[in-house]
């Protein structure tokens, strides 16, 4: 079981994602949400795929693509820190990534399938890390961040965006 990260393993704003997981076993959350999120995305009607709840907000497709991009970035950081990377890793500007994704030119079902595939890859990585690797702390965007915190952030980031999709988009 992967223990919950402690203060000092992440910065305050990252706690939003970590807290989304609550006291549930994070590996169970990651595993279950792979199928649950895929099913939810497949259930979204065609007329909602490019819906944005306010001007300047992302569409459903852009939100899903952001979830995919962020999972990939978190997985890379997780791999790097678990392997003892000493160099700091850069942050990323999510709005710039969203603009360059051209997500609205894609099918939502294709994005849903990609999300499921990326999550499956992340699960292989997470399942094969030991406690020593999970305790490693690296630097991301000039802030300390543990591998363990990244696992929780991966799960919590998805939960956060699914909650927003359900509340504001669907």
Considering the domain boundaries, does residue 3 fall inside one? Answer: no
Show the CA angle centred on residue 116, arms to residues 85 and 75, nearest 5°. 5
4 falls within a domain: no
Asked, for residue 163, whether it belongs to a domain, the answer is: yes
Give residue 142's domain range: 12-169
22: alpha, beta or left? (left if phi > 0; alpha if psi -120 to 50): left
Is 40 within the bounds of a domain? yes
CATH number for 21: 1.20.120.450
51 assigned to some structural domain: yes
| Whole-number Cα distances in Å, 149 to 52, 75, 153 | 30, 11, 6
Quote the pLDDT of residue 66. 98
Residues of the chain short of pLDDT 70, as ranges, are none
Any domain includes 7: no
Q: Say how far apart CA 151 and CA 62 lie, in whole Å.
A: 23
Q: Look at residue 2 and tell me if it is in a domain.
A: no
pLDDT score recorded for residue 142: 96
The 10s digit of each residue's pLDDT in 19-36 is 999 999 999 999 999 999
Q: How many CB atoms lie within 10 A of CB 111?
A: 22
- What's the pLDDT at 87? 97
> According to the model, what pLDDT value does residue 7 have?
93
Assigned domain for 100 exists: yes
The total domain count for the chain is: 1
């Amino acid at each position: 079981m992967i223990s919950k990260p402690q203060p000092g393993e992440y910065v305050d704003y990252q706690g939003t994602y970590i807290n989304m997981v609550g006291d549930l076993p994070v590996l169970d959350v990651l595993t279950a949400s792979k199928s649950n999120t895929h099913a939810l995305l497949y259930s979204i009607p065609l007329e909602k795929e490019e819906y944005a709840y306010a001007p300047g907000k992302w569409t459903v497709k852009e939100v899903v693509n952001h979830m995919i991009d962020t999972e990939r970035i978190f997985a890379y950081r997780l791999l790097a820190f678990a392997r003892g990377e000493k160099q700091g890793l850069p942050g990323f500007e999510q709005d710039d990534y969203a603009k360059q994704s051209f997500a609205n030119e894609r099918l939502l079902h294709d994005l849903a399938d990609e999300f499921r595939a990326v999550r499956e890859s992340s699960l292989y990585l997470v399942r094969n890390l030991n406690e020593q690797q999970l305790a490693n702390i690296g630097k991301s965007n000039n802030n300390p961040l543990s591998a363990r915190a990244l696992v929780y952030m991966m799960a919590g980031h998805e939960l956060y965006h699914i909650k927003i999709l359900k509340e504001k988009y669907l």
